[in-house]
Structure 1
Amino acid sequence: MNKKAIVTAGLAAALSIGAISTAQAASKEKCYGIAKAGQNDCANISGTHSCAGQSKTDNALDDWKAVKAGTCEEMGGYSKAQAKELLKKQKEMKG
């Protein structure tokens, strides 16, 4: 096999992996308020942490977990807009 064929095959493989990842991401949504402590998927709304696995409490409104699109509400979770509104109301009640 010549170098051009190897490079072409490698590029085709990389592109197909990217297409699969994009399709998988499109079938997921961020669901706030359902992640267990240490099981969130990334940074939270409040900005108190910026990485996966750093949530301190179960079901914190500002932490999210990726779930199958269309299942968040069934799981008792919230969209980002809903979570922000609930957090704002909580802050007002405390303030």
Structure 2
Amino acid sequence: MARAGDPIDYTSFLTTNDLFVNPYSFGVMANCDRTNAAGQPLKCNVLVQDQCSGNLVDHIGLASNGVVYSGIRQALEHKPVRLDCTAL
């Protein structure tokens, strides 16, 4: 859960192919899942390969990966992240 009075929602996009944050699980945030105004559950940790197993994005590639970008847009709109595995 987000802390009371904290106006910022956090979402961490992770990849199993991360060579900088190794193991990638070190990037997992604890106790930060939340619910949006519509009552939908929002996960604060999104592992790309959980939804798009064929996406081999690495740490540096997260910033320019279309699949990740699709998730960032959803997170910023306070919607559940459902990655578009076909995004370029």
Please identify which structure carries the higher helix content: 1
Give the TM-score normalised by structure 2.
Answer: 0.25
Give the TM-score normalised by structure 1.
Answer: 0.24
Bigger-Rg structure (1/2):
1
